[in-house]
Every structure is written in C-alpha cells, then in structure tokens.
Amino acid sequence: MKKQSRILLAIASISLILVFFFPIWRIYLDAPQYPEGLGLNIWVNKVTGLNSNDLETINGLNHYIGMEKILPDAIPELSIMPWIIIALIGWGLFASIINKKWAVYVWLCTFIIVGAVGLYDFYQWEYTYGHNLNPDAPIKIPGMSYQPPLIGQKQLLNINALSIPFVGTYVILFSVLISFFVLIKKKTVGKN
C-alpha cells in the first residue's frame, strides 16, 4: 500500500473511537402526552434516555402493554460490543503498520460481518421486546405487537416511533467507505 493509503486506513481505524462518544442509533417516540419529546439513544455500550429520565419513563409506560423493562445491564451485547470495536481499531492500525493487503481484506470483512450481525441482533432485541408481552398486561390488543422499526417510522398505539441510525453508525460507515476506497485505489494502481 502507498503511504497515503496507510494513513487513510489509520484514520479510518482511529475515527472509530468516536463511536464511544455518540449513540449508534436513536429512537424518537412521539406521543400526544409528550410534546417535549421522548426517546432512546442506543450506544455500543449502553442504552440511555434522550432526556435525563426518559428510560425510566418509557419503562413505566411500557408496563401498560406488558413490555419487559429495558435494563441495559441485562443486555450482554452492550458489554461485548466495546471490545469488538477496540479490536477493530487495533486490527485496522495493525493492517496499516504491517502494510499487507490481506490484513485490510480481513479487517473489512470482519467489519461488515460485525455490522450485519449487530443489526440483526438489534432487530432481534426489538422483536423480543415488541412480542414478549406479559399476559397480565392492563392493555391487551389482539394481534398487536410493539416492535419498533429498525429504520423508519411506525405507529404503536398512541406512540409514533421513529428509528434512525445516529452519528456512531455514520462514523462506522465512514470507516468502511475509506477502507473500500483504499482497496479499490490499490487495485487501480496495481493494474497500471
């Protein structure tokens, strides 16, 4: 790889640190009773409210429909994900230092697999929360489930849920695109 490519690869790796500073996903919940807004931030290592007490409020509201409480400590992925990100950062830097094409391929493949598995896992959690309802819940509507969308908007009773990738995800995409760019560029250079 050229020096320029190696620097780009290093930047792509290091920029992943930003993932710890920004949520990767955001779910906005819009209800008539909450003009001030309500929502969740999904981070690689935690789930927090959009405003200071939102998580507690959402858990409180969810008990009406029998949804399980969202307890970040009970989600094992949140303790695994940070290590995966750190490993990716490390491998990216390693690839940049050893200057081997295969290392970049491994990095990119791992990256894409992690991303895909992550998304699927997130969907699974949403599915579980939305479908695994307490049969004693005060509000039971036959056939109704409360799975928030992965991306996009969905009306769940009085709540309009809007789910979108947030800054953390864009950082990851940026990283992936750079590594693509590095590989493609190398190929073109190689052909010439």
Partner 1 sequence: MIKNKIFTLLISGFILGLVFTGCSNQQEAGGTDEAAKRVYVAPGQYDEFYTFMSGGFSGQVTVYGIPSGRLFKIIPVFSQDAETAYGYSEETKAMLNTSYGFIPWGDAHHPELSETDGVHDGKWLFINENNTPRVARIDLTEFETAEILELPNSAGNHGSPFITENNEYVVASTRFSVPIPQKDVPIKSYKENFNGTISFIKVDKTSGEMSIGFQILVPGFNYDLAHAGKGPSHDWAFFTCYNSEQANSLLEINASRNDKDFIAAVNWKLAEKYVSEGKAKKVAANYAHNHMDEKTQTAVSVMNKEVLVLDPKDAPGMIYYIPTPKSPHGVDVDPTGQYIVGGGKLSTVLPVHSFDKMIKAIENKEFDGDVDGIPILKYDAVIAGEVKEPGLGPLHTEFDDKGFAYTTAFISSEIVKWKIGTWEVVDRVQTYYSPGHLNVPGGDTKKPWGKYVISLNKITKDRYLPTGPALCQSAQLFDISGDKMKLLLDFPTIGEPHYAQSIPAEMLMKNSKKIYKLEDNEHPYAAKGVKETKVERKGNEFHVTIGASRSHFTPDNIEGAKVGDKVYFHVTNFEQDWDIPHGFAVMGNRNSELLIMPGQTRTILWEPQKVGVYPFYCTDFCSALHQEMQGYIRVSAQNSNPEIKYTLGE
73 binds partner 1 per the rule CB under 8 A: no
- Which residue stretch of 9-17, 51-59, 96-104, 172-180 sits at the interface with partner 1 (rule: CB under 8 A)? 51-59
| SS3 assignment, position 165 | strand
Whose Cβ is closer to partner 1: residue 138's or residue 143's? 138
CA-CA distances (angstroms) from residue 84 to 79, 100, 192? Answer: 10, 21, 37
Would you say the C-alpha torsion 26, 132, 154, 37 has a positive or negative sign? negative
At closest approach, how far in Å is the CB of 141 from partner 1? Answer: 13
Whose Cβ is closer to partner 1: residue 64's or residue 105's? 64
147 binds partner 1 per the rule CB under 8 A: no
Instruction: Kindly state the number of chain residues that form the binding site for partner 1, as judged by CB under 8 A.
Output: 9
What is 7-42 written as a DSSP string?
A: HHHHHHHHGGGGGGTS-SEEEEEE-TT-TT-EEEEE
Question: How many Å apart are CA 134 and CA 141, to the nearest integer?
Answer: 12
36 binds partner 1 per the rule CB under 8 A: yes
Interacting residue ranges for partner 1, rule: CB under 8 A? 36, 53, 56-57, 60-61, 64, 138-139
